Amino acid sequence: MRETRRNIAVLGSTGSIGRQTLDIIAEYPDLFSAWLLVAHSSADLLIAQARLCHPHMVIIADEQYYEYVCDALEGTGIEVATGSAAIAQAVTSAEIDTVVTAMVGYSGLESTIAAIQAGKRIALANKETLVVAGELINRLLQDSTSVLYPVDSEHGAFYQCLVGERMQDVEKLWLTASGGPFRTLPKQQLATVTAADALKHPNWSMGAKITIDSATMMNKGFEMIEARWLFGIEPRDIEIVVHPQSIIHSMVAFKDGSVKAQLGLPDMHLPIRYALGLPDGRLASDGRKMTIEDMATLTLERPDFDKFPLLNTAYAAARQGGTAPCVMNAANEVAVAAFLQNKIKFTDIYTIIEQTMAQAPYVAHPTYDDYVASNADARARASELIGIF
């Protein structure tokens, strides 16, 4: 066992991954302690978490809740800050060992970069960081002592299958997808599904944005790009396979014909626990374990690219590179938010992304500032398109 506890920064502690991360921290009090908690506007939950875990610091990104959080935590000795610049600053603190990036969307990019530059161990849930700027992130990692461990269950699976293997022996990655709530729905009916329908994920309980991304299968496109940057594999060597039971979390096919798969119950505590245990080893757990019945009826099928065209969009963006995935991500964030507010139809998400990508300027070798500009430009274009719909 490690002699010192790891101080953990949980960016997005009030979200689905953040709350489950706090469960794991509480499960192993000798190994971990929460040092920094960050939320956007869930002030009451952040306050409750702070009272329970007693971190060194909390940040409420939305400034309108700053006074409220300060008042609630007065006398506790917990430092309170606000604003996104404070997050990027706080993660560089020498006291922090590990940063769990569980903020949602583009908002995670700046603080992840700051954590890399500060040499932190990073448990990455915020896949949008790699979708938007994977090339830049990999360049920054080369110049840093920082390490990135995947939290996403599929990428945790790839990581586990690749332990002890040489990357030159890998033929392809098989990225599993549940298929989402509309896997068996006829394509013509997709135009009339509601946000409530799309939020009913068959296997996973997650935040609203990623649940909609799962329903459109944009999430799987994002995960293909995430895998590309995490494991240095070309998009053409990453194949998506639909596996409705979400027990096989992903597989690696090797050049000798062997395939390795990682299996587990569909519970994000497992990949979070694995990521936080790295590189020391697995953390024993009393949670429910797999049974033969859980594995008795596993099925695999090919994805329907015609019904879920955002899969093609993601492969095209990955091949194009540069700012193309950044534009796709920005348009998706805007379109998903509009769909959740019942402003557009489910199928409009695809149209808005495609139209934004067709219009937006393209930078082949972006700097950080290019990504910032590209994200802002694409968001403005997508918002304008939504006004027309």
Which tokens sit at 239? 């194949």
Shortest distance, CB of residue 88 to ligand NDP, whole angstroms? 11
Residue ranges in 111-170 that form contacts with Mg ion under rule CB under 5 A:
152-154
3-state secondary structure the chain: CCCCCEEEEEECCCCHHHHHHHHHHHHCCCCEEEEEEEECCCHHHHHHHHHHHCCCEEEECCHHHHHHHHHHHCCCCCEEEECHHHHHHHCCCCCCCEEEECCCHHHHHHHHHHHHHCCCEEEECCCHHHHHHHHHHHHHHHCCCCEEEECCHHHHHHHHHHCCCCHHHEEEEEEEECCCCCCCCCHHHHHHCCHHHHCCCCCCCCCHHHHHHHHHCHHHHHHHHHHHHHHCCCHHHEEEEECCCCCEEEEEEECCCCEEEEECCCCCHHHHHHHHHCCCCCCCCCCCCCCHHHHCCCCCECCCCCCCCHHHHHHHHHHHCCCHHHHHHHHHHHHHHHHHCCCCCCCHHHHHHHHHHHHCCCCCCCCHHHHHHHHHHHHHHHHHHHHHC
In whole angstroms, how close is the CB of 231 to ligand NDP at the nearest point?
17
In the complex, the smallest distance separating the C-beta of residue 369 from ligand NDP, rounded to whole angstroms, is 19
Give the residue, chosen from 100, 103, 253, 317, that forms a contact with ligand NDP under the rule CB under 6 A.
Answer: 103
Piece of 203-211, 227-235, 307-315, 365-373 that binds ligand NDP (CB under 6 A)? 203-211
- 76 makes contact, choosing from ligand NDP, Mg ion, none, with CB < 5 to 8 Å by partner type, with none
Instruction: Between 128 and 154, name the residue whose CB sits nearer to Mg ion.
Output: 154
Q: Which is nearer to Mg ion, 154 or 370 (CB)?
A: 154
Residues in binding contact with ligand NDP, number by CB under 6 A? 29
| Identity of the residue, 333 or 348, whose beta carbon is nearer to ligand NDP in the bound complex | 333
Q: How far is the CB of 219 from ligand NDP (least distance, A)?
A: 7
In angstroms, what is the minimal distance from the CB of 20 to ligand NDP?
8
Least distance between ligand NDP and beta carbon 173 (Å)? 17
Rounded to the nearest whole angstrom, what is the least distance from the CB of residue 284 to ligand NDP in the complex?
23
Binding-residue pattern over the window 126 to 145 for ligand NDP, x denoting contact by CB under 6 A: xxx-----------------
Which residue's CB is nearer to ligand NDP, number 106 or number 361? Answer: 106
**Least Å from the CB of residue 364 to ligand NDP:** 26
Site string for ligand NDP, 204-243 (x = CB under 6 A): x-xx-xx---------------------------------
Q: How far is CA 62 from the centre of its chain?
A: 21
Nearer to ligand NDP, 28 or 106 (CB): 106
What is the phi/psi pair of residue 303, to 5°? Answer: -70, 155
Rounded-to-integer distance, Cα 73 and Cα 42, Å: 15
Candidates 127, 95, 133, 107; CA nearest to 38 is 107
Work out what residue 61 binds among ligand NDP, Mg ion, none; the CB cut-off runs from 5 to 8 Å by kind: ligand NDP
Query: Which listed residue (107, 160, 203, 332) binds ligand NDP by CB under 6 A?
Result: 107
The residue (of 118 and 363) whose beta carbon lies closer to ligand NDP is 118
As given in the structure block, the two tokens for residue 295 are 């594995």
33 binds, among ligand NDP, Mg ion, none (CB under 5 to 8 A by kind): none
Positions touching ligand NDP (CB under 6 A) are 12-18, 38-42, 61, 84, 102-104, 107, 125-128, 152, 204, 206-207, 209-210, 268
Kindly list the residues in this chain that would bind Mg ion in the complex (CB under 5 A): 152-154
